[in-house]
């Protein structure tokens, strides 16, 4: 197949002064692969803006550009700039089939061909590490998604945050698809409006670029979790974040503060002013696990087991488009 190339190739970072997600096409009119030579040849690969409204990666690139004015790169760096059209529109993706973080396990579209080309070239270059930079919708501490429990996986993840989630789905997400090539993580850098995300992302990139080899000591002890359930809200349900309304589902206003904090069995998760429970918990295969995690006591939804929620959001739109949150458990605690 003679793929019409849908991405550009660059060998230097353009001037990013004043560039925002919305204006990113003034410097990157299309997705781009930027190959920057450094002292050690095996590249670090990073991806930015795979989701158009997750601008942390652009911030990382700006900091990198400034740093490179006075420092040579200690290691070759490849940068993939992803969904610039969605960035221009200020949205995560323009359509369900152009989610850039679902392109990396084969497929038939020109975007899939782009992903395959980049993956094959990266494999030939013997990459050292891969990092995909993202933001969260709700307030979460920084964490990585890791795809193995080997010393390299743990070392890489620990350079960013003590919080890590082990996940082996979906196969088409970039960091998982890159894992056969090198240690690979998704770095979740908090909310896009929080400038600390760019600083933490840049520090992480610096640490990895300066690393000579992987070792078996983690830089900080990881708190490693596995996602065991996804909490969905039935469509057309009225959701409220205030006490005393007659919405179908009442959640606490400070819900996002629960992210990465364990909620013990027996604690209240939500109120049901109308008595009917619109929450369901499913696993990655779609199996219904609601009875395993939740029980109804009067007008309250109560947790049946110790869980640590993540990606809880008070954005009703995000809840409707995606889900309320994920529930995590320690891998060893899973029964």
Q: Which residues are at the interface with Zn ion (CB under 5 A)?
A: 51, 54, 134
Q: How far is the CB of 99 from Zn ion (least distance, A)?
A: 9
Q: How far is the CB of 218 from Zn ion (least distance, A)?
A: 25
Whole-number Å distance between alpha carbons of 225 and 329: 5
Instruction: Name the residue nearer to Zn ion (CB basis): 51 or 119.
Output: 51
Residue count of the chain: 335
Instruction: Name the residue nearer to Zn ion (CB basis): 76 or 137.
Output: 137
Instruction: Name the residue nearer to Zn ion (CB basis): 134 or 271.
Output: 134
Instruction: Name the residue nearer to Zn ion (CB basis): 21 or 278.
Output: 21
Instruction: Name the residue nearer to Zn ion (CB basis): 54 or 256.
Output: 54
Whole-number Å distance between alpha carbons of 45 and 123: 11
Any idea of the CA torsion for 314, 164, 119, 198, to the nearest 10 degrees? 60
Q: How far is the CB of 113 from Zn ion (least distance, A)?
A: 22
Whole-number Å distance between alpha carbons of 249 and 224: 31
Instruction: Name the residue nearer to Zn ion (CB basis): 54 or 329.
Output: 54
Q: Which residues of 239-255 are buried (b: 16+ CB within 10 A; e: fewer)?
A: bbeeeeeebbbbbbeeb
Q: How far is the CB of 267 from Zn ion (least distance, A)?
A: 29
Q: How far is the CB of 331 from Zn ion (least distance, A)?
A: 24
Distances (CA, A) of 294 to 169, 270, 273: 24, 10, 17
End-to-end CA distance of the chain: 47
Q: Where are the alpha helices (DSSP H) in 168-222?
A: 174-178, 196-209
Q: How far is the CB of 145 from Zn ion (least distance, A)?
A: 10
Smallest CA-to-CA distance from 184 within 170, 200, 173 is with 173
């Amino acid at each position: 197949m003679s793929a019409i190339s849908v991405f550009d190739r660059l060998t230097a970072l353009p001037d990013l002064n004043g560039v925002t997600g919305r204006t990113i096409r003034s410097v990157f009119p299309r997705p781009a692969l930027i190959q920057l030579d450094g002292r050690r040849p095996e590249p670090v690969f990073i991806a930015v803006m795979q989701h158009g409204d997750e601008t942390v990666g652009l911030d990382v690139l700006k900091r990198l550009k400034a740093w490179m004015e006075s420092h040579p790169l200690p290691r070759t760096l490849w940068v993939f700039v992803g969904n610039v059209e969605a960035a221009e529109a200020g949205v995560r993706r323009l359509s369900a089939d152009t989610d850039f973080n679902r392109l990396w396990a084969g497929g038939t579209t020109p975007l899939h061909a782009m992903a395959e080309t980049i993956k094959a070239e990266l494999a030939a270059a013997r990459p050292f590490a891969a990092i995909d930079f993202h933001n969260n919708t709700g307030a979460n501490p920084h964490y990585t998604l890791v795809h193995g429990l080997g010393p390299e996986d743990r070392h890489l993840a620990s350079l960013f945050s003590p919080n890590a989630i082990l996940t082996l789905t979906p196969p088409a997400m970039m960091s998982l698809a890159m894992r056969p090539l090198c240690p690979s993580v998704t770095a979740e850098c908090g909310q896009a409006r929080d400038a600390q995300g760019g600083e933490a992302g840049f520090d992480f990139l610096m640490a990895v670029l300066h690393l000579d080899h992987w070792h078996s000591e983690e830089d900080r002890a990881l708190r490693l979790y596995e996602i065991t359930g996804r909490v969905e809200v039935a469509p057309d349900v009225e959701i409220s974040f205030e006490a005393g309304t007659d919405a179908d589902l009442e959640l606490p206003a400070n819900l996002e503060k629960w992210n990465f904090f364990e909620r013990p069995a027996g604690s209240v998760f939500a109120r049901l002013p109308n008595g009917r429970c619109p929450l369901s918990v499913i696993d990655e295969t779609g199996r219904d696990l609601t009875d395993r995690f939740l029980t109804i006591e009067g007008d309250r939804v109560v947790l049946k087991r110790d869980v640590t929620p993540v990606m809880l959001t008070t954005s009703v739109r995000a809840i409707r488009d995606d889900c309320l949150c994920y529930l995590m458990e320690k891998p060893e605690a899973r029964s």
